[in-house]
Chains A and B, each alone.
Chain A
Amino acid sequence: MKRTVVIVLLACALLGLQVLVLRPVQSQAEGQIASPRDRASVRGLVPIEGSATHPQFQKYEVHFGPEPNPGDQWTPIGGSPFTVPLVQGRLGLWDTTIIPDGIYSLRLRVVRLDGNYDDYFVRGIQVANTRPTETPTPQKTPTPAAPTDTPAPTPTVVIGVPNVVSPTPRPTNTPLATAPSIAATGPSELPFGFSSISDAAFWGVAATMAVFVGIGIILAFKGGLTSLIRWLTRRGRDDML
């Protein structure tokens, strides 16, 4: 009984440590386009909102490109690149009046000091300047039991009033849609002073190994290693009779 309690406590301690160590890895955000969303219909001047941060931030760029884009041709939106990191703000302003109507993608590229970068995309944006904006009908999803997966009507941005978003309800943030919560965390919020994901992962693994090695040493010194092995390979009570 006593041994069971000790084992359960050890397991809880290890799980707690894992959660603490992995938390910064999971919550670290570097880039996101919050608006417009996938398959949104836009026209006029479109504010692009979201986050672009990184512990080694150098700049971010916002591009648009046609869909499909076999030539991988991307055009920077006005003002790009931007040298100030941004959390939940306006990444740029996209003038869609100078491009033909059609389907486009947006690309946010967060460039680090070492020149490496991460890309974030919004797909299927419909630019419709020459006809009335249509609010897309929510598409039927293959799994109606998961309402959070059903796209809600997307916000429509009005020409000349870039900051005003129509009162169409936005999709609810659900546990599945982790991007908004991720975007809320910037590099300054990283716990334990980790400077990057790789640092956090490294120290997480190192801490876990240290715990196991520590337990091993303690057990070895107490002569419990044999008992532990025996316990791990023990048989059922019927085998002892």
Chain B
Amino acid sequence: MLIVGLGNPGPEYAAHRHNIGFRVVDALARAHGLAFSRRRGTRSLVAKGILAGKPVLLAKPQTFMNLSGQAVHSLSRMYQIAPNHILIAYDDLDLPLGRLRLRPEGGAGGHKGMRSIIDLMGTQAFPRLRMGIDRPPGRMDPADYVLQPFDKDQSPLVAGAVEEAVAAIECWLAAGIVAAMGKFNQPARGESPCLEDQE
């Protein structure tokens, strides 16, 4: 299994809305005591470990966002990972802040990182976890908006969303995409357990 968080490399971009994918995989690595390191030939920072009883690779592409596909493609080839075993976590302007959306496949939806991945992988049939960051206020350019840090009053909501994303990914690993979708795509989640599906 490969879990990729999208973002731009460098500390100056770390707090940007566009880097929320990095925050998700960082949190996942922290939760499981994994550490990232540069892996030659992958153009990524990579952390390896066992999550939910499965060997998992976490990755943060060190290309810029619009070239994320190069990193994902390299990782999938190097580690022989099929597209349906790759989950991409990234920001989504069309979802309210704090909302998650898991999908087994789909288009790029205007996200250039996803566009790059789809182009290089030659398929869009891979799971993705969209993280809501809200629309930009007023007539603000969306490009400016995603390349800015979250507002201070949004921080608790973002932290909660990241925690939930970690739980969603763990659920995906343990029970599959359908169960994870059923549990984490609901606007008001029930307390149903993350049961293994028939995938």
Residues of A near any B CB (own CB < 8 A) = 227, 230, 234-235, 237-241
Contacts and interface: CB of A to CB of B under 8 A. Distances in A.
Contacts of A240: 8, 13, 18, 64-66, 147
Interface string B64-90: 111100000000000000000000000
Interface in B1-24: 8-13, 18
B18 A239 contact: no
Given A227-B11, A230-B10, 10 more contacts: A230-B12, A234-B10, A235-B64, A238-B66, A239-B66, A240-B66, A240-B147, A241-B18, A241-B66, A241-B112
Interface residues of B, number: 15
B163 to A, nearest CB: 26
Contacts of A235: 64
Nearest to B142: A241
Contact of B12 (A227, A237, A239, A241): A227
B186 to A, nearest CB: 30
Contacts of A241: 18, 65-66, 112, 143, 146-147
Q: Which of B12, B13, B64, B143 has the most CB of A within 10 A?
A: B64
A235 B12 CA distance: 13
29 contacts: A227-B10, A227-B11, A227-B12, A230-B9, A230-B10, A230-B12, A234-B10, A235-B64, A237-B143, A237-B147, A238-B66, A239-B64, A239-B65, A239-B66, A239-B67, A240-B8, A240-B13, A240-B18, A240-B64, A240-B65, A240-B66, A240-B147, A241-B18, A241-B65, A241-B66, A241-B112, A241-B143, A241-B146, A241-B147
B20 to A, nearest CB: 14
Nearest first, the 3 A-B pairs at minimum CB distance are A239-B64, A240-B8, A235-B64
Contacts of B12: 227, 230
A238 B146 CA distance: 12
Nearest to B147: A240
